[in-house]
Structure 1
Amino acid sequence: MPDQTFQRVEINGGVVVGVDGSASSLRALAVAAEEAVRRDAVLHVVRAWSMRTAPRPPECPPNAVPSMDAFQQEVERDTEKLVQDKLGTSQVTTKIHAVHSPSPQALLAASRGADLLVVGHRGRGGFAGLMLGSVAEQCVRHAACPVLVVRPTV
């Protein structure tokens, strides 16, 4: 098995939110921005990605595999657009952290320097909807700071 080196997020204070483009993560982004404004803190938007989950760079020809740098740049552009579309002209200071890493590891690393970690909850409705998703559960169990799990709107 090849050795995989993943990136880490290192911050010093502020509110961290995990974003992957899903409706639940965008709701978490909005709540995290409100918390950052209340606390007069920086909002750190963490987007963990892999080659499987990263948006494909539009300039890459069909049947070609983009470079890791091209993927990184496209994830950063896509995340900046998600944040701009969701927060608009919000007065919160925002920093984007696009990291090639599994989501739980990226968020837990960021939690070491955070004042608060905000994650979305992927509700499934009924009894199953009461359970936390695997990323949210790992964050609640292992984060080094308080965790706010944002439930979807009904």
Structure 2
Amino acid sequence: MNRTVRRVVVGVDGSAHSLAALRKAAQEARRHHATLRPVLVYSSPMGDYIDTLWPPDPRTARELDRAAYRRLVDSCERALGGLPADVRCAPTTAFGPPAPLLVQASGEDGDVLVVGDGGHGALHRLLKGSVSRYCLRHCDCPVMVVPPAGD
């Protein structure tokens, strides 16, 4: 395994926790002269379970992807003042369950995955699981979990 950091992959969903993770990921990308890869994973308004049974038609899928990309760029604007000019940046979106897709997105040699510590309550973790815990258990690359601001 190569120890050189080539890409810093960061999960972004627009929440305050993910914006803190995005800021930290940008710092790490600058520090290592690596590519910053913000990833926004989305599903349709019907939810993950319905999406697996009845995936959206191609037109709806394109609309969902465009809306997700706009949310990703907006998140970069809120966290970083826009897509950073001082570091290579490769924003991307993915459709499906967040945790497995973040693990998949950070599967190359030289990747580091950065995720926010979601800050959801016990009921949410019970019903949906914890993205950060899933990534820690399943990622082959180093994972950095960024705590909420002020913690």
TM-score normalised to structure 2 length: 0.75
Q: Residues 3-152 of structure 1 correspond to what in structure 2 (within 5 A)?
A: 13-52=6-45, 67-88=60-81, 90=84, 91-113=86-108, 114-123=110-119, 134-152=130-148
Q: What amino acid does structure 1 have at the position aligned with 2:80?
A: L
5+ residue gaps, structure 1: 1-12, 55-65
- Runs of 4+ aligned structure 1 residues displaced above 2 Å come to 122-125
Gaps in structure 2 of 5+ consecutive residues: 1-5, 48-58
Question: Quick one: percent identity of the two aligned structures?
Answer: 40
Q: How many residues end up aligned between the 2 structures?
A: 127
Give the structure with the larger helix fraction: 2
Displacement of 1:98 after TM fit? 0.6
Calculate the TM-score normalised by the size of structure 1: 0.74
**Residue 53 and residue 121 in structure 1: after superposition, are their counterparts in 2 closer, same or farther (change >3 A)?**
farther
AA at the equivalent of 2:146:
V
Aligned CA RMSD, in angstroms, stands at 2.4
Amino acid at match of 1:136: S
Given residue 96 of structure 1, which amino acid in structure 2 is its aligned partner? P
CA distance in 2, matches of 1:87, 1:94: 12
The separation in 2 between residues aligned to 1:122 and 1:34, in whole angstroms, is: 20
Change (3 A) 1:105 1:53: farther
